[in-house]
Amino acid sequence: MSMKIMIYHARECDPKKCTALRLGRSGKAKVVFRIEELPRGGILLDPFAEKALSREDAETAKKYGLIAFDCSWKKISQIAKLKKWFRPRSLPYLLAANPTNYGKPTVLSTAEAIAAALIIFGERKLAEDILAGFKWGSVFLELNSEPLEAYRAAKNSSEIIQAQNQFIPQDLK
Contacts of 31 (CB under 8 A, 6+ apart): 7, 9, 20, 21, 23, 24, 70
The conformation of residue 105, written as its DSSP 8-state character, comes to B
Interval 61-76: pLDDT, tens: 999 999 998 876 666 6
| Mean of pLDDT values over 8-23 | 86
Q: Which of 29, 27, 40, 4 is nearest to 109 (CA)?
A: 29
Determine if residue 100 is labeled as part of a ligand binding site: no
- Residue 53 confidence (pLDDT): 98
Q: Which amino acid is at 117?
A: A
Predicted TM-score (pTM) of the model is 0.92
Determine if residue 19 is labeled as part of a ligand binding site: yes
- Residue 82 confidence (pLDDT): 66
Q: Using CB atoms within 10 A of its CB, is residue 72 exposed (0-12), middle (13-18) or buried (19+)?
A: exposed
- Residue 78 confidence (pLDDT): 61
| Mean of pLDDT values over 77-81 | 62
Mean pLDDT of the chain: 91
One-letter-per-residue 3-state SS of 62-92: HHHCEEEEECCCCCHHHHHHHHHHCEEEECC
**Domain segments of the chain: what residues?**
5-172
Give the total residue count for the chain. 173
Determine if residue 94 is labeled as part of a ligand binding site: no
Query: Where are the strands (E) in 93-159, listed by range?
Result: none
If one compares 60 and 48, the residue with the highest pLDDT of the two is 60
- Residue 72 confidence (pLDDT): 66
Interval 127-169: pLDDT, tens: 999 999 999 999 999 999 999 999 999 999 999 999 999 999 8
Cα dihedral 34→37→41→45 (10° resolution):
-40
Rounded percentage of the chain residues whose pLDDT exceeds 70:
92
| Mean of pLDDT values over 83-110 | 93
